[in-house]
Every structure is written in structure tokens, then in C-alpha cells.
Amino acid sequence: MDLSSMADMKGILDSLQSQMSQLSTQGPRTRAREVGSGQAFSMDQIISMMPKKKLAREDFMNDQLADLKEKADREASLPPEHVPLINRKDLLGTLRATWKAINEPSPGQVMSKQVIIFWPQKYSTTKIGDLSSINVADLMVRKTHKGNYLLCRTICPPVFDGCIGFLLGVEDSQGDTAYLKLCNHAMLLEADADETQNIMPVGTILVLREPTYYTNANVTDLPFIMVESPSDVIFADFDNPILRDVSWKSKLIVHPRAMTGEAWKAAGLKDFKASRWFSSAICFTNCIKFGFDVQVSRLNRAEVYLRLGWNNSALHDAQVAFKSGTLTDDLKRKAVVRMLKALYAMNRYREVLETASSLEGDKLSGEWITKANQRIEEQTTGNYDWPKLYTNDKNANFSPDIADFTGPIEVKYDPSGLRGTYVTRDVKAGELLIFHKPSFCLSAAEIAKSGDSSLQWMSVPALKSADDRDTHRLFCKAVQRVWDDRHMYDTLLALYGGETVAEPKKFPPPFVTSPPLEHPTRPCVDIDVEYLQGVSMFNSFGSKSGKELYVVPSLLNHSCAPTARREFIGDAFALRVLQDMKKGEELTVSYIEADVSYDEKRFRMMNSWRFNCECIVCQADDEDGYDARDSRRALYHKMDDIGNKTSNAYDAPTLRRLAAEAKKTCDNMKRTYHEEHSRKAGGRKYELAQPLRLLANALGHLGRTISDASFIRQSIDAKMQSLTVSGMKFIDKSLSGPLPSGSPSLPVDTSQVPQFYDISVLTVIEIAHSFKEIGDKKRAKRWFDVAIWSGKRLQRRWNTSLQTSPSSVVGFAWFIGSLSVICDC
Ligand SMILES: C[S@@+](CC[C@H](N)C(=O)[O-])C[C@H]1O[C@@H](n2cnc3c(N)ncnc32)[C@H](O)[C@@H]1O
């Protein structure tokens, strides 16, 4: 096939696109998207398309995935074989055309990209010294070349494929060329076009460990090497022993970025100023290799490593420079500060104290000592400055400076073999058990900056897809995080990675120290990308701060009747107990909003986490049957509609009609629950909570319009019912008359805190307000006290927000203003 003309390029481009990226026009997306379908559907449509039984992983095998799988299976059934070499000119032409298609799309073309993972992704764990060299001519398609490495050099600048990789032309020492896809290299993906070219100029020598050669599904004469793990590509510097005795047959004109240590330093400083950390680190490494200004270069590299989060290597560089005995006093101080920053970032607060004392007489010393002592106090007691944290939480991009606190918990397996988190002593409702910073995160600012939501990532082996670039970018953060931290890598391998990868290792893994990086381009671990992708997909949280992964919270299982509640303060994760618990009981959280329908939950749980929830609430809903739940969903929507109409109605006849309609609809909804089933679920009927609130609103609105206290009482009653179906337990539900004698000061069971926390507190405040409206001051005060009790019990956020931003509670601003006065909160 003659590939030299642009017309011929089209086939190749089609193939490139189907393998790695697709350029297509696409309409706007609506609320939900069926896995891998490329088509948008509402959640109700999805539910109606799903089988009416408990779901299994296979239910996510749609036509598109089935087609892809068939293709992959067919390919896998064929034997490996040699294929003709690719002509250099054709290869370069293809890359040029690809670059153009990606960087200069036709006017009006909306770019939507698709990444399809057909095969379990490969990575090598064999040391280079134990591998033997092969050439491009030795490569066989459909084969991973176990026991071999390929030494090659780039013959063109890298072309970002718009997705998760770079496309390159490479040649071996014989001058034979191959087409290379370099995927998941977090640092390259982070880099802009200039930085990428600095990092991989033409002539960059690469060693590819145990490379896999793939056929191209659409254009069979364009095979490609794909490197999926960034630890499988080694950038070989001029002094790498592997290059001894290697001579390159072809003449390649290369323009190294710098030829002297001094020039590398200038390049490093230039990159540093432009925030190009990765290439700056490479430049300072070259300075050190050239023996130019070695200790200062180490100090510079330490600062760059700090920016990259490679604290272990930053500490090492700063320590070596400090101990060299060649630094001036000023530089020594810089070295100590870099050591302090690295130790602090690694939570090694006691070493911060020791190191800071070496700065005696310096005002910085006192500041570091104060900070480290505060962190040690937090770590051991779980006492934090909550009002300050909640106040600062109002700022965008808040990342609290706190130490991680872990309370009395342990990781154990239950009799069915499910691993989870358990309390190791009796705990009280409201107790703080975890407060942690993320191990890595993608901040909301980074998400906003990329502004690109057009990447669809689809894994055929995992039958999973992600509809945004951020899922992949969070995984890139994981790669960057483990680059310099072997213990973090082992820790992530001990988290759940999904059902298509190996079982997680034992948690927590034994502590291992990481050696400093040999070279910034070379991670300290062999990165299993498939596993790490699974870990970041199955364990990450989404908060208003972005997407985060926290290690200890990753071990929490889901329940729709959870024993604990999570809260994000900035990007930190806090977990508090929702009820008094006995030693040995399991801590669970609700992964999704608990009040969505059972069938939606069932879909989302299986789609995202691959399990069917068997908690008491789900069991009851399951036993009620599909038809009952189907009518329940329809009635829920009807109540939504009534709720909207009620908020826009002002005349008594309309309100009377709407209130009656709301009552009838709620009664019908109640009939969809089988009492026997709900009893086993402790009376929880989550989907009924919101309709009952809407009924209460309609009744309250009517009562106020016609000045009839009996409707306000009915409204209070509906609100109490709403709390009951949410799982709250009442001691006194009386609506009038004297308070029951001998009843405790609060009318609710205080051994638990309502799980729909914000909405429940709001409902309680509304109840108090309604009692106040009808002149029942005693009950108003009692219900105010419930709101304050749950605010104090669970967290202080409400207390702060009641005082500082009452308008956040829509419609109750004036009222809450008075509440904060009454309640001394
Ligand atoms: C974030 S992890 C939770 C900890 C996990 N069990 C572990 O061993 O690391 C999420 C995974 O745990 C499992 N899981 C969580 N809650 C579950 C539940 N209620 N029932 C069954 N499996 C559950 C699912 O496999 C889910 O994908």
C-alpha cells in the first residue's frame, strides 16, 4: 500500500481514530448516559431498559461493547506473526496528518474523543539488566516480547493524540522504523506542547521494556508498539551503560537542548519560571551529570521535586546539598527550609521539630515548631479548630493544613469475605473517627481549567466507561503520586481495584522506604496501570473541591442505612458516627444519595461499584417487587409536579385542591410499601420522605393562607412522618396539649443522628417554626433544641452557617436569624 499521498492517509487516520481517538460531532448530553452506548438517556429510561431483576456485570455489555469484545477475541485467537516493516516516509507522513487532524480540526467540527482499551494493559517488572535486546525487525504482532527490550530513538517530535497518549516515530540502531504509542505518562500529559518537546526532542533515546506489538484493527499494515505503563519506557541519557557499543546506522540530525552544564542550568531556570517542573527537573539533573554547580543544582532540583510532590527525593537532594559542606549560610538555610517542607508534606512532624531546631535564632524555626506541634496534637487527639475550618471552607480551593486523624477503627473481613472498616471500641453518635487529607486529588480548579469533557474512556475487559477526561486525569495524579513513593504504591495496591484485576494486597502493607529517584523520568516502582486505574475508579470521591482519593476512607463499604456520615471540609474528608455503636460493628457510609429509588440505586451501584446492595432498606424495596416500585416512581414524579404547582399557588381553592391531591398521592405511595417489609427496614421508606415534605408544604401553605391552625398541625405531622421514613426515631410526636409528663427534654431518640442530615435539620427547624406560628412556644423551643442538638452532635457547620449565612436556608433567612439568637449556637 502506497501511503505517501494524503488520500491514502485517510484510512490510517480512520484507524488511528478508532484505536485511540474518534473525531466526531456530537449533540449535547443529558443527565445520564448508558455505559458505553454513546447515547444519552434519562435515568428513568435507563431503568426501563435494564432487566427487572438484580443486575450483574454482564448487564453492562451493550451492543457496542459486544462488538468490540468480539473483535478483540477474534484478534486474540490468531497467532503472533511477523509483519512488513513500516517505511519511514509513510510513518512521518501519517504522524503529520494526525497532528493536523487533531490540532487543526475543520471549522465547526466538535471534537469528541474515545479511548478504547481492548486488552488488559501490560506492564513489565523485569529489570533491564535481565532483559536482552531485540530490534524492530524482530517484533511480532499480537505478542508481548517477554524477556526483551527494544532500544530506539525518536525521529520526530511527539504528537499528543488528544486522549491519553503520544504518538511517535522511532527507529532502532539498524535504522528500521516503528510506530509507537506512549500512553498514560502522567508527566507528559501534564506538559504543554513546548515542554513535551523539551522533554522528548528528536533523537531522544528510549528503552522499551518487554514491548507489545499490536495489529491495527482497520489498517492491518500499520502495526504499533504500545507502551501503557510509564515505567516501561526508560529515557536513556548519554551516560547510560546500555548505549555502550551501540552505533546508529541512520543519520539523524539532532539538536540537543544544551551541551554544557551551564546551559542546562539556564534551561532549568527558564523552565522553572514557566512552571514546567518536569523538564526543569531533567535540566537540573543534567547539570549534576555535567558536574556543574552540583550542590546548587541539587537544591534547585529539590525545589522542583517539592512542586511535583516528590517529597522523598526533594528531602534527599536537600540533605545531600546541606551535608556537602560547600554551601554558603544562605544556601544552607534554603536547604533546611526545603527539608522542612518535604518532611512536613510527608507528615513527619517529629522530624520537622528536630530539623527546625537547627535553625535556632531564625524566626522561621519558631513558625515550623508551632505548626508541627499543632499537627502532632491533632493527630493524637482529633481536636481541630472547627469554627476556623468551617469559615475557611467558604473559600474556593480550600485545602486545610491539618494532620490526619484516625480514630478507633480497624480493617477486617466479614464472614462473607467482604473487607470493611470496624470500630475497635464503643463509640457515641457524632464521634469523629476519620479526618484525612487526600492522598492525591484533581482540584476543581484543574477540572475547570481543562474545560474538556469530550473524552469517553471505555475498557472492554472491565466493561466500564467513563464519560470525562477527569477520571483519567485523576489516575494520572495517582501515577505522579507513586512515582517517588514506593510505600504509597504498595498502599494503593492494597485497595480494591475492581473485579477484573488481582485481589488487593493485605491492608495496611508493611512500611517500606523509597530510595530517591535515580532520574526524574524513571519512577521508583513498576506501575501496574490497570490496577491503579481500578483503584482510582472504585475508591475516589467527588466533592466540591474536585475528585479525591483518601486511603483509609477507601476501606468503607456502602449501606443505604449507614452507620457513619462523611463530610468534606475543603478537600479534607471527615467521618462521624451517626449512631451509638458497639465495639466490632461495621462503619458504613452511603455512596450515593440514599433517597433515590431502589432501581436507580441498583443501576448506579452495579455500574460504578459492581455490587448489589443487600442492606435492610434494599431488601425491603426488593421484596416489594418491581411493579410496586414502578408505581412508586411514577407517584414520586407526580408529587414533584404537585410541589411545583403548590409553590406557585396563592388562592385558597387551588391550595385546597393541591393539598388534597398531595395527600391522596402520598397515601397511594404509602400503599406501594409492604408494611411487613418496611418493618424489617426499621420503618425506612426513603423515597417517601420528599413527597411527605411536599405534602407538608402544601398543607402549611394552605393553613397560612386561610389562617387555619389545624392545617399547620397536619403539616407538622407530615413533616414528622417524613423524618420517620428517613429513619429518625421519635419519643414524642404530640402536636398539641401539655407536653407528655416525664418525657425527656428532646422529643427524638438521641442515640442516633438523622442520616439525611441537612434536609432533616431543615425539616426540624421548619417544625419548630410551625409550632411557633401556632403559638406553641414550648414545642417550638423543644424542636429548636433538636436542631441544635443534631448540629452540635454531628458537626459544627450548621452552627456556623446559621450565624454567618442564614440565607443559605432558602425561605428561612429571617427565622434562622432569630434562631441563632435563641439558641446560643
Ligand atoms: C471503596 S471499596 C470499599 C472497600 C472494599 N470492600 C475493600 O475491600 O477495599 C468499594 C467496593 O467494595 C465493595 N462493596 C462496598 N460496599 C458493599 C456492599 N454493601 N456490599 C457488597 N460489596 C460492597 C464493592 O466491591 C465496591 O466496589
Candidate from 611, 615, 618 with most ligand 1 atoms within 8 A of CB, to mutate = 611
The set of cell numbers assigned to 689 is: 420522605
Distances (CA, A) of 635 to 101, 641, 662: 50, 10, 10
Per-residue pLDDT at 550 exceeds 50: yes
Candidate from 418, 439, 505 with most ligand 1 atoms within 8 A of CB, to mutate = 418
Contact criterion met (CB below 8 Å) for 215 and 199: no
Same-domain status, 543 and 482: yes
Same-domain status, 161 and 268: no
Per-residue pLDDT at 33 exceeds 60: no
Whole-angstrom distance, CA of residue 284 vs CA of residue 775? 75
Mean pLDDT to the nearest integer, 397-412 = 97
Tens digit of each residue's pLDDT (9 = 90 or more) over 46-67: 888 888 888 998 888 888 888 8
Per-residue pLDDT at 396 exceeds 70: yes
Per-residue pLDDT at 821 exceeds 70: no
52 in a structural domain: no
Contact criterion met (CB below 8 Å) for 466 and 117: no
41 in a structural domain: no
**Binding-site residues, ligand 1, Cβ < 6 A:** 418-420, 495-496, 504, 538-539, 554-555, 557-559, 609-611, 613
pLDDT of residue 468: 79
Residue nearest to atom 20 of ligand 1 (CA): 613
712: confidence class by pLDDT, cuts 50, 70, 90: very high
Cβ neighbours of residue 596 closer than 8 Å, sequence gap 6 or more: 604, 687
Per-residue pLDDT at 680 exceeds 80: yes
Element (H, E) at 119: none
514 in a structural domain: yes
Same-domain status, 517 and 649: no
Share of the chain above pLDDT 70, in %: 89
Residue where a domain stops, chosen among 382, 417, 436: 382
Per-residue pLDDT at 10 exceeds 50: no
Tens digit of each residue's pLDDT (9 = 90 or more) over 198-211: 999 999 999 999 99
Angle at 721 between CA 716 and CA 723, to 5 degrees: 95
Same-domain status, 209 and 320: no
Tens digit of each residue's pLDDT (9 = 90 or more) over 304-352: 999 999 999 999 999 999 999 999 999 999 999 999 999 999 999 999 9
Same-domain status, 648 and 726: yes
393 in a structural domain: no
Atom of ligand 1 nearest to the CA of 608: 27
pLDDT of residue 218: 65
The set of cell numbers assigned to 359 is: 535553625
The set of cell numbers assigned to 154 is: 525518536
Tens digit of each residue's pLDDT (9 = 90 or more) over 82-118: 999 999 999 999 999 888 888 887 777 766 788 888 8
pLDDT of residue 452: 65
Residue nearest to atom 27 of ligand 1 (CA): 609
207 in a structural domain: yes
Contact criterion met (CB below 8 Å) for 550 and 541: yes
Alpha carbon of 609 to ligand 1 centroid (Å):
7
Tens digit of each residue's pLDDT (9 = 90 or more) over 467-495: 778 889 999 999 999 999 999 999 999 99
Residue where a domain stops, chosen among 382, 397, 430: 382
Same-domain status, 536 and 587: yes
Mean pLDDT to the nearest integer, 425-450 = 91
Alpha carbon of 463 to ligand 1 centroid (Å):
18
Same-domain status, 550 and 433: yes
Count the Cβ atoms, other than its own, within 10 Å of residue 303: 20
Q: Of 6-20, 48-62, 416-430, 643-657, where does mean pLDDT reach its minimum?
A: 6-20
Q: Count how many residues are written for the chain.
A: 825
Same-domain status, 590 and 671: no
505: confidence class by pLDDT, cuts 50, 70, 90: very high
639 in a structural domain: yes
The domain that holds 350 is classified in CATH as 1.25.40.10
Candidate from 609, 614, 617 with most ligand 1 atoms within 8 A of CB, to mutate = 609
587 in a structural domain: yes
Mean pLDDT to the nearest integer, 640-655 = 96
**Range(s) of the domain holding residue 486:** 405-449+467-604
| Residue 5, Cβ density class (10 Å: 0-12 exposed, 13-18 middle, ≥19 buried) | exposed
Angle at 693 between CA 692 and CA 695, to 5 degrees: 60
pLDDT of residue 774: 95
Share of the chain above pLDDT 90, in %: 70
Atom of ligand 1 nearest to the CA of 496: 9
Alpha carbon of 558 to ligand 1 centroid (Å):
7
pLDDT of residue 758: 72
Same-domain status, 635 and 514: no
- Pick from 623, 595, 568: nearest CA to 723: 595
Tens digit of each residue's pLDDT (9 = 90 or more) over 276-299: 999 999 999 999 999 999 999 999
Mean pLDDT to the nearest integer, 496-504 = 95
Count the Cβ atoms, other than its own, within 10 Å of residue 775: 9
Domain count, the chain: 4
Same-domain status, 120 and 227: yes
Angle at 515 between CA 498 and CA 226, to 5 degrees: 45
Residue nearest to atom 22 of ligand 1 (CA): 611
pLDDT of residue 190: 85
Residue nearest to atom 12 of ligand 1 (CA): 557
136: confidence class by pLDDT, cuts 50, 70, 90: very high
pLDDT of residue 794: 58
pLDDT of residue 793: 64
Atom of ligand 1 nearest to the CA of 419: 8
pLDDT of residue 787: 83
The domain that holds 200 is classified in CATH as 2.40.50.140
Alpha carbon of 494 to ligand 1 centroid (Å):
13
Whole-angstrom distance, CA of residue 98 vs CA of residue 94? 6
pLDDT of residue 302: 98
Q: Is 608 helix (H, G, I), strand (E, B) or coil?
A: helix
Residue where a domain stops, chosen among 564, 582, 604: 604
Alpha carbon of 400 to ligand 1 centroid (Å):
28
Whole-angstrom distance, CA of residue 392 vs CA of residue 398? 7
Residue nearest to atom 4 of ligand 1 (CA): 555
454: confidence class by pLDDT, cuts 50, 70, 90: confident
Residue nearest to atom 15 of ligand 1 (CA): 557
- Pick from 382, 370, 376: nearest CA to 349: 376
Same-domain status, 531 and 569: yes
Same-domain status, 353 and 222: no
Alpha carbon of 222 to ligand 1 centroid (Å):
42
| Most distant CA pair in the chain, distance | 100
Please give the distance of CA 176 from its chain centroid, rounded to a whole number.
42
Candidate from 549, 558, 610 with most ligand 1 atoms within 8 A of CB, to mutate = 558
pLDDT of residue 39: 56
The domain that holds 475 is classified in CATH as 2.170.270.10
Average pLDDT, the chain: 88
Alpha carbon of 447 to ligand 1 centroid (Å):
27
Give the global pTM.
0.90
Alpha carbon of 40 to ligand 1 centroid (Å):
28
pLDDT of residue 451: 60
Whole-angstrom distance, CA of residue 219 vs CA of residue 9? 10
Alpha carbon of 557 to ligand 1 centroid (Å):
5
Alpha carbon of 553 to ligand 1 centroid (Å):
11
144 in a structural domain: yes
pLDDT of residue 795: 57
